[in-house]
Amino acid sequence: MPRDLPEQIHQQRRDLGERIRVLRSGARKTQEAFAEMTGIDRRTLQRIERGTSDPRFSDLLLIARALEMTVSDLVQE
């Protein structure tokens, strides 16, 4: 179900994915280990980190919990 989104939205999604990747790496977790910690499928996590997928709010909650932060802190610009 493709959507025509403004480029700004695509960029923000990529920025969020990069932030998640950096925080995960800083926590010394591989994608596989992080996926296991969060219960999010590894392929889904890869798409989120690449910014090619819109994460569900529940995914953001799981990611933030695993990183010991709030969703607000996770998505801050």
Q: What is the DSSP string of 12-67?
A: HHHHHHHHHHHHHHHTT--HHHHHHHHT--HHHHHHHHHT-SPPPHHHHHHHHHHT
Instruction: Enumerate domains of the chain plus CATH numbers.
Output: 7-70 (1.10.260.40)
Residue 58 tokens, joined: 């529940």
Choose between 2 and 5: higher pLDDT: 5
Where does the pLDDT of residue 77 fall: very low under 50, low under 70, confident under 90, or very high at 90 and above? confident
- Kind and range of the H or E element at 72? helix 71-75
pTM: 0.89
SS3 assignment, position 7? helix
Closest CA to 31 of 51, 52, 45: 45
Give the per-residue pLDDT at 1.
Answer: 41
